[in-house]
Amino acid sequence: MSLSGSQQKIFLRLVTVLRPHWHTDPSLPLRIQQEFAANRSFGSRDRKLYRELLYTTLRFLPWIEPLFDTDPTRAANCVAWLAADLPATRAYRAGTCGDWPACPPTVAAKAKHLGADPATVLPAWLPRHCPAAGLPADLDALHTRAALWLRLQTPDAAPVLAEFTSLGWPSRISRVVPGAIELLAEADITKTKAFLGGLVEVQDLGSQMILASAGIAPGGRWLDACAGAGGKSLQLATLLGPSGHIDAYDIRPSALKELQIRAQRAHLNHISLLSAAPTGLYDGVLVDAPCSGSGTWRRAPHLKWTTTPAQVTAAAATQLQLLTTYSAHVRPGGRLLYATCSLSRFENEAVVADFLATHPAFKPEAPSQNFGFIPDLATGGLTVLPARHNTDGFFVAALRRA
């Protein structure tokens, strides 16, 4: 058996193990990683190959899944054809579907070749939540691999770019957010001098747009109320400068430990980690709320098939409660920023509208930058869609307390 034939056999075996969990397990990436760890014969390139094949399967699951029952070999060949052209996949694709025409860039053209319905690659419930996601540009973007964006934590990009050049890694600097760099190569940034020295952090450009849209001035005392591992805490600390201060809080202590490591690496000493719920008033409060994650489907395609409308409704209720709770910590004249990585209007504009209806002291503010997107008139909310700037999807609304 050829190498590609053997690899296809292993892929189909992985499918057999993982398929029962495709529609139920939101932690599927961890399950995939556990499968790799259990098989010590998988090297780094093997893991990259099978991960790409599995994630491609999940991106186009309604096209592929029925074929596993009727024609597994064709299913595997379709996945190989749809997979990204990467060093880890190139030989496998040539050995399994090398006589197929080149895979076109658009979902519509892919569907035409395979005799599939392009609309089915999104959950049936999504159009009501985000009609724009089904339009060609964003539909195509949602079905490609996510970009690798970095955020500079130094005013001097030269040593960072010089190191990337020496490693043969092409990159480009964002035209819309200062200090954002897209790395145009498959690379482990965590082993670079720039990363280890705290000069750069991994942060999607769309995520960087959340704070960049708000025009945050240096100085002031802020609360990051749902800090997680702290990507936005670090960005906020950079924007506030050494004269500002951030209290970071999260109900998950393990996430704050990661933030502590990242802050030390970046030499940011004006972030305090709160071990108990915050008290007092702040010049600004960021509520980066837990959500359904539909904006992250480029890098987490399994969430398309494990997320339900009921879960979105439940997330919206939690988000409104978080806004209500943490709005009490905004001083008069201060600002409340609400953000999600969801594309659903029921987690975004609707949550802000419900909050404003019961909190008349808060008024929406237009974003200082909209990056080419049109803000919602009622809430001032800005939805970042993936196609325009090659990002994940996000939402942000800025509210001012009277």
The pLDDT, as a whole number, for residue 42 is 82
* Residue 265 shares a structural domain with residue 161: no
Same domain, 291 and 241: yes
Mark which of 104, 119, 134 sits at the end of a domain: 119
What does the buried/exposed string (b/e) look like for 245-276 if buried means 16 or more CB atoms within 10 Å of the residue's CB? bbbbbbeeeebbebbeebbebbebeebebbee
Residue at a domain's end among 157, 175, 203: 203
Residue 301 lies in a domain: yes
The CATH number assigned to the domain holding 177 equals 3.30.70.1170
For the chain, residues with pLDDT lower than 70 are: none
Residue 124 in domain: no
- Number of domains composing the chain: 3
pLDDT for 45 equals 81
* Six token digits for residue 198: 């705290």
Within-domain flag for 168:
yes
List, for residues 93-107, the tens digit of each pLDDT value.
Answer: 999 999 999 999 999
Q: What is the 3-state secondary structure (H, E, C) of 212-264?
A: HCCCCCCCEEEEECCCCCCHHHHHHHHHHCCCEEEEECCCCHHHHHHHHHHHH
The pLDDT of residue 54: 98
Q: Answer yes or no: do 386 and 266 share one domain.
A: yes
Residues 49 and 191 in one domain: no
Q: Which pLDDT score, from 0 to 100, does residue 396 have?
A: 98
181 with 173: CB under 8 angstroms?
yes
Question: pTM for this structure?
Answer: 0.95
Which pLDDT tens digit goes with each residue over 154-167? 999 999 999 999 99
Q: Which pair of structure tokens corresponds to residue 91?
A: 């030989």
For residue 387, the tally of other CB atoms under 10 A from its CB is 18
pLDDT given for residue 40 in this prediction: 79
Q: Are 50 and 12 in contact (CB under 8 A)?
A: no
341 catalytic residue (yes or no) = yes
Residue 296 is assigned to a structural domain of this protein = yes
Active-site annotation holder among 78, 97, 226, 341:
341
Q: Return the pLDDT at 244.
A: 97
* 331 closest CA partner among 283, 285, 363, 364: 283
Point out the domain boundary residue: 188, 203, 218. 203
Could you tell me if 308 and 362 lie in one domain? yes
Distance CA 333, CA 362 (A): 9
Statement to judge: residues 182 and 319 lie in one domain: no
Does 164 share its domain with 226? no
Angle, vertex CA 108, rays to CA 102 and CA 114, nearest 5: 60
The boundaries of the domain holding residue 248 are: 206-401
